[in-house]
């Protein structure tokens, strides 16, 4: 299955929104993609260290019980949260032909650095 970075972002936003901090399992609602595609992306996110979850495939087919975002999940989400930054990030990635998490994160950070400098006159190093 091909990794869908828009779906990755949507899933991370959904998990963050639904995480009450109580440790209860987080259910991913209808985010416009088939459940099996969402499940595969949850496994990708867990393998990448962006979420904590339990492989519950033994219970009911391929299934992930989502627990929470990790520090790395929060960090990535914070770089691509803003829809304008995300759109510019994807446009930049299209130009260079690279869509790894690391490249997307660095492009987003560059856009944020420029935005901070333009708005405040202060250059920061993220």
Identify the pLDDT of residue 80.
Answer: 95
Task: Give me the pLDDT at residue 50, please.
Answer: 97
Contacts of 42 (CB under 8 A, 6+ apart): 11, 28, 51, 53, 64, 66
| Per-residue DSSP letter, 30 | -
pLDDT, residue 53, reads 94
Prediction pTM value: 0.87
Q: Where are the domains of the chain?
A: 5-70, 82-120
Name the residue with tokens 């994160």.
Answer: 105
How far is it, in rounded angstroms, from Cα 7 to Cα 32?
Answer: 9
Query: Residue 84 — left, alpha, or beta (φ > 0 → left; ψ -120 to 50 → alpha)?
Result: alpha
pLDDT along the chain (126 residues), means of 10: 94 94 84 92 96 85 90 95 94 86 90 85 74
CA distance 85 to 124: 17
Say what the pLDDT of residue 126 is: 63
């Amino acid at each position: 299955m091909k990794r869908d970075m828009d779906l990755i972002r949507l899933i991370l936003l959904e998990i963050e929104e639904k995480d009450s901090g109580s440790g209860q399992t987080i259910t991913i609602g209808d985010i416009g993609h088939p459940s099996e595609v969402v499940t595969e992306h949850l496994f990708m996110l867990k393998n990448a260290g962006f979420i904590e979850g339990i492989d519950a495939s033994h219970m009911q087919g391929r299934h992930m019980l989502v627990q929470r975002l990790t520090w790395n999940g929060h960090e990535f989400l914070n770089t691509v949260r803003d829809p304008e930054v995300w759109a510019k990030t994807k446009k930049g990635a299209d130009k260079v032909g690279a869509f790894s998490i690391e490249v997307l994160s660095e492009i987003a950070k560059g856009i944020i650095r420029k935005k901070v400098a333009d708005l405040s006159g202060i250059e920061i190093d993220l």
